[in-house]
Amino acid sequence: MSDVSFYDYAKLSTEQRAALLKRSEADLSGVIEKVKPIIEAVRTEGDAALARFARDLDKAENVTEATLQVTPAEFDAAFKAVDSKVIDAIQFGIENIRSFHEEQKPETMWMKEIRPGAYAGDRFTPIQSVALYVPRGKGSFPSVTMMTSVPAVVAGVPNLAIVTPPAPDGSVDAATLVAARLAGVETVYKAGGAQAVAAIAYGTKTVKPALKIVGPGSPWVVAAKRLLSGVIDTGLPAGPSEAVIFADDTINGGLAALDLLIEAEHGPDSSAYLVTHSRRVAEEAMAALPGIWAKMTEQRVAFSRTVLTGGKTGGIILTSSVEESYDFINAYAPEHLEILSTEPYDHLGKITEASEILLGQHTPCSIGNFGLGPNAVLPTSRWARTYGPLSVTDFVKRSSIGYVTAAGFPLLARHAHELAIYEGFSSHALAVSELRQQFVR
């Protein structure tokens, strides 16, 4: 289709190539200035500000200070409102996600004898309170509830809460409540956007503050996390959806087009590229897109067309070689990566910078998003270079443990004493000198 952004990568300048790496939240300066007064209002006004923003920003006229928290009756009603097939799909996904994440859970403590009589190790304990952000603005996301709640419950976090934007009628998405209860979370607050992050950071009369908040969100959520990072642990940076679909010349371009639209349909701020060194695949994908769009809903067509035809965060990239494709993918460091090939493992070893890598023709992002097992809450904006997917380890903290016996002390003390003297720390040195023996029982 002629208006889909098409890039002949070999012909692009250095500046043009760099522009392809930018995400929608790369420049948040304008959003940050709008978020600041929201945060301050929540900090000073608490529930009153949350209810006001629910009405003004979420158009939820029925949300009041008294109805900010979901009631048990609302949970019960959700199970009656959601089709049994959807509930089954949620339960199926939760089982897979739990099975996967249980394998990640570290042992409570381990120790190793480093030297005779000297032991060191780690102890893992759950973070005491974590909030899970579940977006809603461009759709309903029980899948995000599953992906954030299950590893937190597996980790043993004792105080868990979900924050999610209310609908215009003041309700929370019913499937989100079903997923929350089935995963093991019963506390849900009707708050979204920057105001939700502020409420969790500072606490209000209704909303209990948490030590950490995790979950993907809009640029407003990302901006609020940045501003409040000194108040609350904001977890891995997860912003608007992004994906790279890599296809080699063994693939039908129509399949690449089909999967290209998965993350592109999340919203106009998503990012989605098809990267291929095969002109045939690129042309087939271009030709297939109109027919696929004809089968999608109007809203999702609008979102994905904005991404793929806007010329800023999506389109089709034709490289001159498979090595050039690898180079672009590693530079882009995508949130989601599909390797479409009849031999996907041939390519896997060449790609190091991607948070989720889905292999072959039968593993689309849809399956990854809805319950294959690995977590689909992933770092965006090239943070895949240093962050991995959300995991059980995001909900626990590690303490180092050390224990030295009387027999092991002299050897370690002698070397510690030497370094303490060299670095000029007399108290350090005294603590491992003969003086210590006067006080040891």
* pLDDT tens column, 147-198: 999 999 999 999 999 999 999 999 999 999 999 999 999 999 999 999 999 9
Tell me, what's the pLDDT at 161? 98
Catalytic residue among 74, 242, 284, 335: 335
CB atoms < 10 A from the CB of 310, how many?
A: 13
Tell me, what's the pLDDT at 23? 87
CB-based contact 39:48 (threshold 8 Å): no
- Could you read off the pLDDT of 365-410 as tens digits, one per residue? 999 999 899 999 999 999 999 999 999 999 999 999 999 999 999 9
Cα separation, 358 vs 245, in Å, equals: 10
Q: What is the largest CA-CA distance in the chain?
A: 85
Q: Does residue 244 carry a pLDDT above 90? A: yes
Residue 89, Ramachandran bin (φ over 0: left; ψ between -120 and 50: alpha; else beta) = alpha
pLDDT, mean over the chain: 96
- Could you read off the pLDDT of 14-48 as tens digits, one per residue? 999 999 999 876 678 889 999 999 999 999 999 99
Whether residue 336 lies in the annotated active site: yes
What is the average per-residue pLDDT within 265-281? 96
Tell me, what's the pLDDT at 26? 66
Tell me, what's the pLDDT at 337? 98
Indicate the residue type of 295.
Answer: K
Q: Does residue 424 carry a pLDDT above 60? A: yes
Tell me, what's the pLDDT at 169? 92
Query: How confident is residue 356, by pLDDT bands cut at 50, 70 and 90?
Result: very high
What is the average per-residue pLDDT within 295-308? 96
Per the structure block, which two tokens stand in for 390? 């959300």
Cα separation, 226 vs 36, in Å, equals: 11
**Closest C-alpha among 46, 89, 114 to residue 412:** 114
Catalytic residue among 336, 338, 347, 356: 336
What is the average per-residue pLDDT within 298-316? 93
Whether residue 335 lies in the annotated active site: yes
Q: Does residue 273 carry a pLDDT above 70? A: yes
Query: How confident is residue 2, by pLDDT bands cut at 50, 70 and 90?
Result: low
Cα separation, 162 vs 132, in Å, equals: 5
Tell me, what's the pLDDT at 1? 46
Cα separation, 337 vs 97, in Å, equals: 19
Phi/psi of residue 399, nearest 5 degrees: -115, 135
